A = this chain, B = another copy of it.
Amino acid sequence: MVASTWTRRHIISLADFTIAEYDIVLQTAASFQEVLSRPTKKVPTLQGRVVANLFFEPSTRTRNSFELAAKRLSADTLTFAPGSSSLTKGETILDTALTYLAMGTDIMVIRHQHAGVPQAIAQEMERVGSQVSVLNAGDGQHEHPSQALLDLFTLCCVLDPDQPRASLMQGKKVAIVGDILHSRVARSNLWSLITCGAEVHLAAPPTLLPEFFRSWGAPLEEAGARSPLHLHWSLEPALADADFVMTLRLQKERMTQYLFPTLREYHRSFGITHDRLKHCKSTVKVLHPGPVNRGIEISSELMDDPRLSLISQQVSSGVAVRMALLYLIGSGKVGDGKS
């Protein structure tokens, strides 16, 4: 393990992640991936530590992934479920977090429907002088770092299964297709892909990809570099010669907001199918963060095609990457040469 070179305490956003940090995550995840291939998929790394999964916004999939990652590191887990919780009793979010701190939590994994909550909790933890680490498991439309990191790990493992590393992404063309506007997954992926040297092409109807997204590439252009970020209001230019196609989940409830005419219409214009992939590189692979609306973002046939779809690998990578993240931010405290 390479934790010794890791200095980041919280993982809130990928905006300022360095290539060196991506490489540590990829390398650590790869070693846990190996652990997961053993019959007994467990290591004692976080024994006696407490990981609290505070999912103010419910999510069975991501919560279970983090829970499993924590259990495989032998940590004890606490789960916060909204609804039947103190929140409905008038307690503030920060006070809820302080309660979990006082119970002895070591790492807080936080999902919240509002952007900024994990950051606010991380600041509160530092204000009161605690050693707790905060891991953002999705905040509003802001970021979802562990998803982008598992996507990156999945891509790099395709390119070199033995030694996944950030430099493999250099010059690769990645198309991100779908509801960019509302997607925290897209935002986090933008940071990781661009930092690792990929060229990112966003494709969506204008209502889901406003002009202001262009500004995300601006800093690079101003620095004299060619912007690695491209916007398209149709699918074809984004897919042309692409190495990877990332589809985003379409939340059906958006329909009520008249952002596009019908789901059928959406699929016809932006749904990914075998046919649509013809203009990509011959080695193209397709990703989706799940849960998938079959036949909308992606055709059912494509989703089930193991030669093209990386969806299952993304879920598997999720456990390894989350083990890596919990290990990296937990190891400072665990370390002390004691474990």
Which A residues fall within an 8 A CB radius of B?
36, 38-42, 47-50, 58-61, 64-65, 67-68, 71-72, 76, 78-81, 84-86, 89-92, 95-96, 98-104, 128, 249, 251-252, 290-294, 306, 311-316, 318-319, 333-334, 336, 338-339
Contacts and interface: CB of A to CB of B under 8 A. Distances in A.
B58 A48 contact: no
A41 B104 contact: yes
A102 B313 contact: yes
Nearest to A39: B338
A291 B103 contact: no
Contacts of A290: 86, 91, 95, 99
Contacts of A100: 64
Contact of A50 (B50, B68, B95, B315): B68
A89 B90 CA distance: 29
Contacts of A90: 252, 291, 293
B67 A78 contact: yes
7 contacts: A60-B84, A60-B86, A71-B76, A89-B251, A90-B252, A99-B290, A103-B319
B95 A291 contact: yes
